[in-house]
A and B are shown apart, each in its own frame.
Chain A
Amino acid sequence: MANEHKWGMVVDIDRCTGCQACVVACQAENNIPINEEKDFLSRRAKQWIRIDRVWEGEWPNVKARFIPILCQHCENAPCEPVCPVYATYHNNEGLNVQVYNRCVGTRYCANNCPYQVRFFNFFDPEWPSSLWNQLNPDVTVRSRGIMEKCTFCVQRIRRAERTIEGQRGEELSDQKLKEGNFMPACVTACPTDTLIFGDMKDPNSEVSRRSEDPRHYKLLDKLGTDPNVVYLKKVDPHVVEEAHD
């Protein structure tokens, strides 16, 4: 059943307000350690999904653009062939998978990722003991020396498979993922419905339909990584198009 799906995401930048709800939702769901001040100062803050803010223009005709960036789950992922221990590989559901207990920490994958969405654990993660209570039991806490990144909340997909396919004998669909609370944490949190997740193989899924929107494009498309994350362009009635296209 598993290879019948190809998970993907559509990110409509015209809806994104930059509110950071997805960032913290991801942090909570995936046991990402607290990014302390020293982590920002040493540029080692971990955000599996981040919102890049890009300035355009000069005062007073200045614009700030927001774009959520996460692992693009590329079909031709530059991170995969460089891993000497097959800790990162592409599975048959379109996911770029990171196997923590294979990773030996060469960091080749992070070097090769053009999207800068891989994060290395230079230190063991730490929480005060009372905050252990909030950790998600479905997600491994990564130790020192391990690379980590967005998994499309694979633990939720697996739960959905066990619940919807395994127990009920029904097929997974966008709607059933949504109803069963199995969507990735960032998608669930987003107050403007910027992020749409689903099965790209299902022609009737919202994610398939929206990925055909005339505004669609892929991030750094010319690199040929063929991401499974599709972006929909920001609309700006005053844009100087020549500057961008």
Chain B
Amino acid sequence: MRVSRRDFLRLASFSTLGAVACNVFDEREFIAQSPVRLPEDLVTGRDNWYATLCRHCPETEGLVVRVMEGRAKKVQGNPLYPTNLGGHSVRCEAGLQALYHPDRIAGPLTREGPRGSGLYRSIGWDEALDNLRGQLDRSDRSAVLTVTEPLRGSLAHLVSSFTSAYGGRHMAFQPMEEATYARVVRDVLGQETMPTFDIKNTQFLLSFGADFLSTWTAPVQFSKGYGEFRQGQGRERGTFVQVDSRFSMTAANADDWIPIEPGMEGKLALSIAQVIISEELVNEAVIRAMTGGQGASALDAFAPNRIAQQLGIPPLRGRGPAEVIVELARDFARHGSHSLAIGGGSAAAHTNGLFNLSAIYALNFLVGSVGTEGGIKFNPPPPISELATTLPPATTAEWRRLKGEIDNGSIKLLLFRGVNPVHGLPADIDLRDALDSDDVFTVSFSSFHNETTEMADLILPDRAFLEDWGDDIPQPGPGFEIVGMQQPVVNPLPGMSPLSFADILLRMAHELNIDSAAPLDKVTFQDVLKDHARKLHQLDRGSVREATFEAFWNRLLQQGGWWDEGAVATASLPPSPNLVDIANQAQDPRITGSRDPNTFYLVPFQSISLTDGRGAHLPWLQSTNDPITTVTWTTWVEINTAVAEVIGLKEGDFVKVEGPNGKSLTAQIYHHPAVPPEVISIPVGQGHTSDIRYSKDRGQNTLSILGLPLDEETQALAWASTRVRITKTGEREPIPKFEGIVPAFRPNEEDAIVKVTRG
């Protein structure tokens, strides 16, 4: 039958009408597509979220990681994990880039060229582990040193057991270490575990030098409390004062920032104490106890009108320095046990750091905020003894001694895991020189080439933290018992063959027959963790309670850890320190470097993204703006805007910054309206030379120009006690920063973007 075009159209229209009239088709059949829903609906696969821990920096936040088709896609805070309650930092997010970094080492390497040349040959794991075992077997065991980051939990237990069973030594490395703070925690607060601060319930927070919202100790945990401290429901807004020789991100958030001459924080604390005592703003019995009965006369030498001029405090809002101190002391005392004084960072990094921190933390005893709500909150020991081991960082003085030991042949085999001391130690120690010797054999477990790895004879790449097992006792904890769990959320990519450092240690223990006791009797680190989890299971309390161990283990991993909010510190409060004793230790900082024109105090700092340099290879962290200057991808020198104009330095000018050790660095000027005129600040973390595309030859290493000033008591690096000279080089380039080039506001031009109110 021949059907004309006209016939076809007629038939087609009848059949469509019929179909509609008979309601044969569902209405949705007539919708060609859903433009809004279509893109998401096309995604195949199902996502899963796995709980684990962030191992990028010491805070170790609880995380949940989105995994889709075997690839990690997104890192978020674990909302259940008590220390960070779902929040996280920029650094956690970048864990994904450590996992999928294009320059990650794929498998074991053995050195081919001279040390530092970066010439390596790929080898198989059998050959690599045979080589390691041979080295461990042949070496004089007392000449073997394992260097790791500070360790806690099961890994600390394993490393410590291995080291003592094998007969070698262990040292933990942390650049800009907090040994002075750790000493004060032990000596003044009487604690073996790190305390936390109940910022959420504090009413008056006084911080000396601690950049606690950015990088100091546990910034995410403290930030959680800070949000509530400011605008928590059912409470009055807390007041926050930061005493700091640098305008840090934390200082920027304070209601009052009190600039101070570097190293004078302890004297200011004693001056505050003097006002509180002389005006009898606290209980008389407390005053008697803390002054050995001397009362008001005990601290006369620190009366504001006597020492205010020494402290370098400028006039603030029309008040002179003595007036500022008196007002501060009255505010601090008025809030009683809901006042909190904390100190660390640059306040501790002086030759008199221990005195500074002792005086600062003593203020809490004066107002009764030790072990109370809104004050210093102590943490209990871990729930099982196997998790109680901690391997804290060695002091800078110990590293200096180590250099001598390597040089004189006492140390011949070094194993480095998770650290880069060639970059992170002051240049004056020159660890690189010590490792550049044919008498030394160096093994690195790093996943990336760095300045230490480049000196290694053998590289055994570790798993990324998102591929590895682990656990953690957070330091500081949340105020009750907690064990965090880390599980592999993905397998390594095809072509990558990393091996867990902990599994290698266990294998070496077996092959060398060095011990058969726990934990070295286990085959894998997962077995060690399970062994410890069994003991947790047997406690039958806390956030995970199950009838069988298998169910307990699954819930433990699902939840990201175990905690028991009822298991708090039970030890009695430490005795109050004697303020007279502290006052007797009072001393000014010894500043290294001259006071000639064009010299400044150097206050180095850890940037929020790169911290001490461990994040420099990750592009998200390189491209994260510094919160204050908005500078990225380089090293910069923060100098007071007015001072820079007087000495003719424009933004972007390259200056030579020369330290007291004769070494120098070159970096660009950033005009900063809030840097004290006598100070310059430079971030640490850049200056890497290894062949990693995002960090190589970016900026310079600030730690190289410090010299070796040490705290006289704790022998920690006094990294904020240096004066440096700056000289113009004559070169200038635009500085990579995010902020615009037009000032944000001009008078009467626009409404302020940030609106401000008194309350």
Contact = CB atoms under 8 A, between A and B. Distances in A.
A17, A23, A99, A235: residue with the most chain B Cβ atoms closer than 10 Å: A17
Interface string A67-95: 10100000000000000000000010000
Judged by DSSP, the binding face of B is loop
A53 B638 CA distance: 16
Contacts of B253: 17-18, 66
A50 B740 CA distance: 12
Contact of A237 (B102, B255, B693): B255
Nearest to B631: A40
A116 B68 CA distance: 34
Contacts of B756: 65, 233-236, 239, 241, 244
Given A129-B102, A130-B101, A45 B623 contact: yes
A128 B619 CA distance: 11
Contacts of A64: 247, 252, 628, 674
A25 interface: yes
Give the interface centre of A67, A181, A185 by most chain B CB atoms within 10 Å. Answer: A181
A55 B734 CA distance: 21
Interface string B248-265: 011011011001000000
Contacts of A135: 73
A109 interface: no
Contact of A238 (B74, B226, B256, B736): B256
A20 B71 CA distance: 25
Contacts of B525: none
Interface in B122-181: none
Contacts of A59: 314, 640-642, 673-674, 676-677
A152 interface: no
Given A14-B231, A192-B226, A236 B758 contact: yes
B90 A244 contact: no
Interface stretch (B19-27, B303-311, B554-562, B746-754): B746-754
A193 B633 contact: no
B41 to A, nearest CB: 8
Contacts of B648: none
B56 interface: no
Contact of A220 (B74, B642, B751): B751
A35 B44 CA distance: 29
Given A24-B93, A192-B224, A62 B674 contact: yes
B230 A191 contact: no
B234 interface: no
Nearest to B253: A17
A53 B39 contact: no
Interface stretch (A26-34, A142-150, A169-177, A197-205): A26-34
A140 B74 contact: no
Contact of B223 (A29, A69, A192, A231): A192
B414 to A, nearest CB: 30
B445 interface: no
A194 B230 CA distance: 10
B73 A155 contact: no
Contacts of A34: 619-620, 623
A52 B730 CA distance: 31
Contact of B753 (A47, A52, A181, A235): A52
A106 interface: no
Contacts of B252: 18, 53, 63-64, 66
A37 B736 contact: yes
Interface residue tally on B, bucketed by range: 35 or more
Interface string B288-309: 0000000000000000000000
Nearest to A102: B35
B754 A67 contact: yes
A136 B224 contact: no
Interface string B18-51: 0000000000000000011101100111000100
A28 B745 contact: no
A189 interface: yes
Contacts of B97: 131, 134
Given A20-B609, A28-B74, A181-B76, A191 B227 contact: yes
A60 B102 contact: no
Contact of B316 (A45, A60, A138, A188): A60
B431 interface: no
Given A21-B88, A137-B45, A237 B759 contact: yes
Contact of B213 (A17, A36, A128): A17
Contact of A40 (B314, B620, B632): B632
A51 interface: yes
A134 B632 contact: no
A34 B101 CA distance: 13
A36 B620 CA distance: 9
B94 interface: yes
Interface in B65-92: 68-69, 71-77, 79, 84, 86-90
A18 B627 contact: yes
Q: Which of A36, A66, A159, A192 has most chain B Cβ within 10 Å?
A: A192
A234 B72 CA distance: 37
Contacts of A239: 756-758
A118 B35 CA distance: 22
B738 A45 contact: yes
A130 B756 CA distance: 46
A53 B755 CA distance: 13
A129 B704 CA distance: 35
Contact of A134 (B49, B72, B315): B72
Contacts of B88: 21, 25, 189, 191
Most B CB atoms within 10 A — which of A20, A69, A129, A222? Answer: A20
B6 interface: no
A41 interface: yes
B608 interface: yes
A15 interface: yes
Nearest to B254: A63
Interface in A209-240: 215, 217, 219-222, 231-239
Nearest to A221: B751
23 contacts: A17-B214, A20-B608, A23-B90, A40-B736, A40-B737, A53-B628, A53-B630, A54-B754, A59-B677, A60-B259, A64-B628, A65-B754, A133-B72, A135-B73, A137-B44, A191-B219, A191-B220, A192-B223, A233-B755, A234-B755, A235-B230, A235-B756, A241-B757
Interface of B: 35-37, 39-40, 43-45, 49, 64, 68-69, 71-77, 79, 84, 86-90, 93-94, 96-97, 99-102, 104, 213-214, 219-220, 223-224, 226-228, 230-231, 237, 239, 247, 249-250, 252-253, 255-256, 259, 314-317, 493, 608-609, 619-620, 623-625, 627-628, 630, 632-634, 640-642, 673-674, 676-677, 693, 734, 736-740, 744-745, 750-759
Interface of A: 12-15, 17-21, 23-25, 27-29, 34-37, 40-41, 43, 45, 47, 50-55, 58-67, 69, 91, 99, 128-131, 133-138, 140, 155, 158-159, 162, 178, 181, 185, 188-194, 215, 217, 219-222, 231-239, 241, 243-245
Given A40-B737, A54-B745, 5 more contacts: A18-B627, A134-B73, A137-B69, A191-B224, A194-B227
5 residue pairs, one from A and one from B, having the closest CB atoms: A191-B87, A192-B227, A128-B102, A191-B223, A40-B736
